[in-house]
A and B are shown apart, each in its own frame.
Chain A
Amino acid sequence: MLKVEKLKKFYKTKLNSIHALNGIDFSLQKGDHLAVIGSNGSGKTTLIKLLTQLTHPTSGRILIDDKPLSDNDKNKFGLMLGNSIVYHRLTVRQNLEYFAAIYNVENANEKISHHLAEFGLTERQHDLVEHLSEGMKSKVAFIRAIIHEPEILILDEPTNGVDPISTDILLWHIKKYPTVIFSSHNLYEVVDVANKVLIINQGEQAFFGDIKDVKAGSQSSQAVREELLKMYKK
């Protein structure tokens, strides 16, 4: 479904050249939940930006259904970058109506109402987003990302700054979604949600594989987290 080949992204600053990503290779099938982990500045967000065409690779390829990624594939992705890409000066409903129209969503009103109810936001739908709590903003950003029912949902630290109750709700929905790529610093949610893991260390691919491979030798979540932490530190 999605294949990433020898992906590189270099940035030039006034002082030096930054190798944000240096040779990332992985492939995903429908139904996969990929967790991208790595320390701050490791290149996780750059990878997400490349997958959603927010930036373009220095070299390498991204293939979707065996064809190079193009503008025509934009509808296939849903992106949540924290609680950005949501207009804080618009109401919750105005935001969702806008993005539903942009993505040409059919029966948009019904879908929006359904999602708002699902996330407990019906009562707040006419409030400005700037008046919502961080957790609620994240829920709005999540609904925005899935409003057009994308084939692949891409989330950058979706639960960052979100309270435990809202985190639970978001994770429940993420797990339900068919194909997901998400970055996270929280190894609990990685083990909970992902079936595949990509570890990036200073732009280099340190590990890509099935989470079962990480679990080798132990089936306990705690052991997997400890193993991931070791790999992460390397």
Chain B
Amino acid sequence: MRLTTSIKQVWAITKKEIHLEARYLIPFFSNVFFNPLKMAVWFFIVYFGFFSNGATSLGDLNKENYVLFLTIGSTFNMFFTIASSNFPAKFFNEKYWKTIQGFIIAPLNNFKFVIGLSLAELIKASFGVLVFSAIAMIFFPISIYKFLLVLAVIIFVFVGIMFIGLIRAAYILVNENINTVFEYAFMAVGFISCFYYPIQAFPKFLQPIIYYNPIYQGITLVRNIWIDQPVQIFSIIYVVVFTIFAVIFGAATFRRLIHHHDIEGY
């Protein structure tokens, strides 16, 4: 009974989000799908020229794998954008639409809310996933089992970033100054996540920092699974620990901030 109620509540949130997004479709597609695609096209032009002129490799990149590398990078970047920017931006909208009160006074816990929102985002992102996966499959076909494993890793990392995004969302409600700090922090994390370039493109002293970025570990895991490279156990453990920590820490911080501070800004 409680499970049925929870599913109904989560689905209601998902449906509501899809209906809200359906009001203006073009901004959504430009933000979530075309921006990562645009970045991939830019890097594709650079790498195409690079490898057509006799270069053999750039770190992990070579003539055979760079399209796949960019496609996986674009998929990750799409999910990263959704979880780190689009998801917190929903709270910004709800704050100024003055509908956020509806969430705060409702008999609903944070998890249901985040799951509902995540599902909506996954449904919306499915178009991008389909396009990017089709491109990757053309250049480097893999079995359906492997593909599902890749998808599972992406979703797992996505959930982790969503809960970190939840902390940003809380600050959007209670202190927009901190939101700006988050904006730059996420930008920096995106920069060191190697969506479109290999870790070797960075100076040596930065590489250890990048190595311990969980998003980099997630993307490396996916790339290795896809191209049949050995998968490091460290990467799997690191991604799992990151997501579990992010879920617990994100939910607790959101709850604490909302309970101890008032919504600020109007």
Contact = CB atoms under 8 A, between A and B. Distances in A.
Given A98-B15, A102-B9, A102-B12, A84 B98 contact: yes
Interface stretch (A72-80, A115-123, A207-215): A72-80
Contacts, number: 72
A81 B98 CA distance: 9
B16 interface: yes
A52 B105 CA distance: 6
Given A94-B19, A101-B8, A101-B11, A11 B262 contact: yes
A222 interface: no
Interface of B: 5, 8-9, 11-13, 15-16, 19-20, 23, 97-99, 101-102, 104-108, 259-260, 262-263
A171 B100 CA distance: 26
A128 B97 CA distance: 15
A181 B5 CA distance: 29
Main secondary structure of the interface of B (DSSP, over half): helix
Contacts of A11: 262
Nearest to A98: B16
Contacts of A79: 101, 105
Given A85-B98, A87-B97, A104 B104 contact: no
A56 interface: yes
A102 B7 CA distance: 10
Given A75-B107, A77-B105, A101-B11, 5 more contacts: A11-B262, A55-B262, A87-B20, A98-B15, A98-B16
Contacts of B108: 102
Contacts of B107: 71-72, 74-75, 102-104
A97 interface: yes
A90 interface: yes
A85 B101 contact: yes
A99 interface: yes
Given A85-B98, A86-B99, A101 B12 contact: yes
Nearest to A91: B19
Contacts of B101: 52, 54, 79, 81, 84-85
A19 interface: no
A166 interface: no
Contact of A90 (B11, B20, B98, B105): B20
